[in-house]
């Protein structure tokens, strides 16, 4: 017995850099604390406790991100970063920029999730009660709501932090599921129009599970090709030209399919309008901002680190996807009659513009995309915040015909929405213009001029539905039974004001954030 | 003689059967089972590649996939039962309020 023990090599303890991972660990830890609150705190106390935990936690994680970004142990001596947790997580400047963006956007989204002035909450009283049943009515009359949404949001945000930071594909897959599973549930929890909400959850779940199976099969192919799931090992095997090319290309295609599904690029965009329309609007805001940033972060890391040497091979396919995404997003947006669907198709087109930054395959493309995502994310949350304010007896009045004459009744709210549409269209002096200009300039420098021409044409097409909404709001007569704009509480007002201010400031003086994004992108991703 | 390459081929076949099932079946539960078949095909591929490369990574990943698939079942069945209780149907064609 002792002989066997002596012969066995001592097991090396894994080394975990708790300090560098602290933003992510804090978010996950508070999500677990949130579950305990749900189990032990009495119902009247829960919302307050959750608010303190969630908002405080996200703010604290943001501060920790800044601390990590300025720590000399990670970035000292010109180092591009550090591979933490035994090679599972890459801590580098683009990742920290993405973390900061996600945490700020999640904070603003949680303000919408916490809104309680016009309904008890945007979420169902009892998700298990059948819509229209006596059980549901009892829950609504008792004025209860699901406070589980706060820990679910924190789990999703934690997954979003891990997703773009993962340095091996197994971690990335687990992060993908950690971010997706809570979102599937959150989509089905709307308080009003529950049939739409449940349908959105089912569609998102079935399509999401389908796409993650492809993502996983891609990982299996790349593992078969290189014998490892570490991104740097795959890059090394790809450049040394060993192994089967079939496995490599099948792996790139399937892995890319899974990632492009998450960002909603055509031809994998079909879930986006349905889910954005059916989900509770605060959750839509969370998905349209934070999920998009996280998914693009992961796409960048995979295609720049693992497949960076193969850019001549994947760029043609990515060209086709980007062109299709921009064209489909803008043309189908023209025919939309629902505000949330219109914003969903607009979000598809915006994903196409950021894809041109991916295709640039350069530090300039990365920094422009980082800027674009941050500017777009904060504006899109503001736009969805406005959507939550226009209501009638049945809840949000999202049909465009109901928005006629809104500008005459409530010029401030309609003006804010018009401003967000103007920034999505990329009119100068807004952040949308700066972002588009930076992305397209990087794409031209990367030799993708035709792509930029398609992008400019697509934004011109996309401006048409935006202008139509603005004309409808300000130049048509309000219907006598039209929806009312309710007086926003401090939470929703804060989200709208943050959106407007950020869009304005980033449009007038984009330099500070642009330099930060440039600084983040210079070292690229750690290998 | 059955080589690991045969197992990879079998995994591809199972994966394609699962993918086709997702596309052609109408019952949400059956679609979900087809997704599970795809995940298990991936597991088989991982284990076969682990044997080919002579390292254990693939076998460890297969365990992770099983755990993730189990948690996906929890979330998925919760969504599917709630929609079944509402509509008295698990057909994906009946859930058609969101379109165009």
Rounded to whole angstroms, the Cα distance separating A337 from B100 reads 9
Given an 8 Å threshold on Cβ–Cβ distance, is B35 in contact with A209?
yes
On whether the pTM is more than 0.90, the answer is yes
Q: A342 with A288: CB under 8 angstroms? A: no
The yes-or-no verdict on residue A190 having pLDDT over 80 is: yes
Q: How many CB atoms lie within 10 A of CB A240?
A: 10
Q: A431 with A379: CB under 8 angstroms? A: yes
Q: If contacts are CB pairs under 8 Å, which of residues 244-283 in chain A contact chain B?
A: 273-274, 277-278
Q: A496 with A386: CB under 8 angstroms? A: yes
- Tell me which residue in B11, B65, B86 faces A195 most closely, judged by beta carbons: B86
Q: Does B86 touch chain A (CB under 8 A)?
A: yes
Q: How many CB atoms lie within 10 A of CB A482?
A: 18
The backbone torsions φ and ψ at residue A82, rounded to the nearest 5 degrees and listed phi first, read: -145, 140
Residue by residue, DSSP assigns A133-152 as SHHHHHHHHHT---TTHHHH
For residue B25, the model assigns a pLDDT of: 94
Given an 8 Å threshold on Cβ–Cβ distance, is A188 in contact with B79?
yes
Q: Does B65 touch chain A (CB under 8 A)?
A: yes
For residue A3, the model assigns a pLDDT of: 55
Q: Does B79 touch chain A (CB under 8 A)?
A: yes
Q: Strands A81-84, A89-92: parallel, antiparallel or unpaired by DSSP? A: antiparallel
**DSSP one-letter code for A479:** P
Residue by residue, DSSP assigns A293-322 as HHHHHHHHHIIIIISGGGHHHHHHHHHHHH
Q: Which of A69-73, A121-125, A368-372, A394-398 has the highest mean pLDDT?
A: A368-372
Q: B36 with B77: CB under 8 angstroms? A: no
How many A-B residue pairs are in contact by the CB < 8 A criterion?
122
Q: pLDDT digit string (tens) for A83-92? A: 988 889 999 9
Rounded to whole angstroms, the Cα distance separating A81 from A366 reads 16
- Tell me which residue in B22, B61, B76 faces A170 most closely, judged by beta carbons: B61
- For residues A324-352, average pLDDT: 95
The yes-or-no verdict on residue A5 having pLDDT over 60 is: no
Q: What is the ipTM of this complex?
A: 0.97
- For residues A413-429, average pLDDT: 93
SS3 string, A287-298, reads HHHHHHHHHHHH
Q: Using an 8 Å CB-CB cutoff, list chain A residues near B56.
A: none
For residue A249, give Cα distances in angstroms to A242, A316, B10.
13, 13, 19
Q: A82 with A526: CB under 8 angstroms? A: yes
For residue A363, the model assigns a pLDDT of: 92
- Tell me which residue in B72, B95, B96 faces A177 most closely, judged by beta carbons: B72
**DSSP one-letter code for A92:** E
For residue A487, the model assigns a pLDDT of: 82
Q: Using an 8 Å CB-CB cutoff, list chain B residues near A185.
A: 75, 78-79
Percentage of chain A lying above the pLDDT 70 cut: 98
Which tokens hold the place of A65? 């991100």
For residue A223, the model assigns a pLDDT of: 96
- Average pLDDT over chain A, rounded to an integer: 92
Q: pLDDT digit string (tens) for A104-118? A: 999 999 999 998 887
For residue A450, the model assigns a pLDDT of: 94
Return the closest-CA partner of residue A344 out of A284, A400, A427, A396.
A284
Q: Using an 8 Å CB-CB cutoff, list chain B residues near A210.
A: 19, 22, 35, 38
Q: Does B8 touch chain A (CB under 8 A)?
A: yes
Q: What pairs with residue A138 in β-bridges?
A: none
Q: pLDDT digit string (tens) for A259-283? A: 999 999 989 999 999 999 999 999 9
Q: Using an 8 Å CB-CB cutoff, list chain B residues near A230.
A: none
CA angle in degrees (0–180, nearest 5) for A367-A373-A374? 95
For residue A7, the model assigns a pLDDT of: 63
Rounded to whole angstroms, the Cα distance separating B33 from B28 reads 9
- For residues A289-304, average pLDDT: 96
Buried b (16+ CB within 10 A) or exposed e, A141-168: eeeebbbbbbbbbbbbbbbbbbbbbbbb
Buried b (16+ CB within 10 A) or exposed e, A26-50: bbbebbebbbebbeebeeeebbebb
Can you give the pLDDT of all 100 residues of chain B as single tens digits?
A: 788 889 999 999 999 999 999 999 999 999 999 999 999 999 999 999 999 999 999 999 999 999 999 999 999 999 999 999 998 888 888 888 887 6
Q: Using an 8 Å CB-CB cutoff, list chain B residues near A206.
A: 22, 28, 31-32, 35, 76, 92
**DSSP one-letter code for A403:** G
CA angle in degrees (0–180, nearest 5) for A450-A452-A456? 120
**DSSP one-letter code for B6:** H
Choose the mutation target among A220, A247, A274, A335 for the interface with B, i.e. most B CBs under 10 Å.
A220
Q: How far is CA A103 from the centre of its chain?
A: 11
- Tell me which residue in A131, A216, A278 faces B39 most closely, judged by beta carbons: A216
Q: How many residues does this entry show for chain A?
A: 527
Which tokens hold the place of A101? 């963006």
Q: How many residues does this entry show for chain B?
A: 100
Q: Give the gap in angstroms from C-alpha B66 to the nearest C-alpha of chain A.
A: 11
Q: Give the gap in angstroms from C-alpha B1 to the nearest C-alpha of chain A.
A: 21
Which tokens hold the place of A348? 């598809």
CA angle in degrees (0–180, nearest 5) for A134-A45-A33? 105
Rounded to whole angstroms, the Cα distance separating A263 from A260 reads 5
- Cα pseudo-dihedral A108, A122, A422, A444, rounded to 10: 60
For residue B9, give Cα distances in angstroms to A222, A236, B66.
15, 26, 21
Given an 8 Å threshold on Cβ–Cβ distance, is A181 in contact with B72?
yes
Q: Does A334 touch chain B (CB under 8 A)?
A: no
For residue A319, the model assigns a pLDDT of: 95
Place of tokens 């790139």: A252
Q: Using an 8 Å CB-CB cutoff, list chain A residues near B38.
A: 210, 213, 217
The backbone torsions φ and ψ at residue A92, rounded to the nearest 5 degrees and listed phi first, read: -140, 180
Q: Give the gap in angstroms from C-alpha B37 to the nearest C-alpha of chain A.
A: 9
Residue by residue, DSSP assigns A325-373 as HHHHHHHHHHT--BHHHHHHHHHHHHHHHHHHHHHT-SHHHHHHHHHHH
- For residues A201-223, average pLDDT: 96
- 3-class SS at A115? coil
Nearest CA in chain A to B67: A174
Q: Is A511 exposed, middle or buried (0-12, 13-18, 19+ CB in 10 A)?
A: exposed
Q: Does A357 touch chain B (CB under 8 A)?
A: no
Q: Does A185 touch chain B (CB under 8 A)?
A: yes
Q: Does B18 touch chain A (CB under 8 A)?
A: yes
Given an 8 Å threshold on Cβ–Cβ distance, is B98 in contact with A224?
no
């Amino acid at each position: 017995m002792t002989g066997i023990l002596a012969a066995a090599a001592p097991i090396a303890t894994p080394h975990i850099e708790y300090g560098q991972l602290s933003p992510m660990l804090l978010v996950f830890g508070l999500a677990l604390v949130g579950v305990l609150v749900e189990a032990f705190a009495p119902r009247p106390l829960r919302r307050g406790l959750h608010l303190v935990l969630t908002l405080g936690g996200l703010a604290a994680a943001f501060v920790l991100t800044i601390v990590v970004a300025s720590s000399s142990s990670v970035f000292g001596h010109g180092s591009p970063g550090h591979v933490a947790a035994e090679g599972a997580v890459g801590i580098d400047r683009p990742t920290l920029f993405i973390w900061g963006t996600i945490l700020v956007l999640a904070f603003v989204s949680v303000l919408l999730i916490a809104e309680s002035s016009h309904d008890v909450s945007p979420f169902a009283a009892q998700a298990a009660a059948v819509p229209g049943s006596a059980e549901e009515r009892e829950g609504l009359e008792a004025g209860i709501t699901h406070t589980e949404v706060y820990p679910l949001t924190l789990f999703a945000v934690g997954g979003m932090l891990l997703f773009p930071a993962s340095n091996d594909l197994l971690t990335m897959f687990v992060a993908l599921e950690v971010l997706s599973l809570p979102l599937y549930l959150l989509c089905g929890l709307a308080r009003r129009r529950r049939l739409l909400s449940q349908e959105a959850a089912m569609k998102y779940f079935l399509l999401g599970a389908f796409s993650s199976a492809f993502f996983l099969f891609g990982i299996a192919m790349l593992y078969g090709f290189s014998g490892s799931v570490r991104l740097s090992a795959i890059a090394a095997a790809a450049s040394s030209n060993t192994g089967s090319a079939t496995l490599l290309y099948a792996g790139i295609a399937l892995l890319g399919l899974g990632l492009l599904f998450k960002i909603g690029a055509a031809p994998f965009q079909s879930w986006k309008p349905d889910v954005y329309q059916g989900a509770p609007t605060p959750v839509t805001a969370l998905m349209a901002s934070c999920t998009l940033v996280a998914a693009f972060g992961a796409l960048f890391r995979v295609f720049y680190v693992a497949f960076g040497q193969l850019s001549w091979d994947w760029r043609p396919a990515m060209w086709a996807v980007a062109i299709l995404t921009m064209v489909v997003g803008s043309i189908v947006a023209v025919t939309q009659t629902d505000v949330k669907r219109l914003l969903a198709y607009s979000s598809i087109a915006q994903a196409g513009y950021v894809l041109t930054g991916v295709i640039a395959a350069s530090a300039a493309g990365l920094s422009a995309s980082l800027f674009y995502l941050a500017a777009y994310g904060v504006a899109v949350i503001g736009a969805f915040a406005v959507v939550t304010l226009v209501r009638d007896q049945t809840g949000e009045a999202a049909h465009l015909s109901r928005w006629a004459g809104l500008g005459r009744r409530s010029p401030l709210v309609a003006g804010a929405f018009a401003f967000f549409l103007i920034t999505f269209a990329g009119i100068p002096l807004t952040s949308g213009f700066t972002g588009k200009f930076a992305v397209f300039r990087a794409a031209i420098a990367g030799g993708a001029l035709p792509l930029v021409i398609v992008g400019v044409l697509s934004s011109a097409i996309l401006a048409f539905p935006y202008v139509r909404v603005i004309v409808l709001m300000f130049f048509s007569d309000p219907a006598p039974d039209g929806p009312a704009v309710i007086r926003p509480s401090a939470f929703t007002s804060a989200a709208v004001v943050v959106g407007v201010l950020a869009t304005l400031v980033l449009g007038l003086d984009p330099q500070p954030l642009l330099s930060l994004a440039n600084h983040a992108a210079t070292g690229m991703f750690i290998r | 003689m059955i080589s690991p390459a045969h197992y990879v081929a079998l995994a591809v076949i199972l994966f394609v059967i699962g993918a086709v099932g997702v596309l052609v079946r109408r019952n949400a539960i059956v679609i979900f089972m087809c997704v599970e078949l795809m995940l298990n095909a991936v597991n088989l591929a991982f284990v076969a590649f682990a044997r080919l490369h002579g390292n254990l990574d693939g076998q460890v990943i297969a365990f992770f996939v099983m755990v993730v698939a189990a948690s996906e079942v929890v979330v998925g069945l919760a969504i599917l039962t709630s929609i079944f209780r509402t509509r008295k149907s698990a057909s994906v064609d009946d859930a058609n309020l969101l379109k165009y």
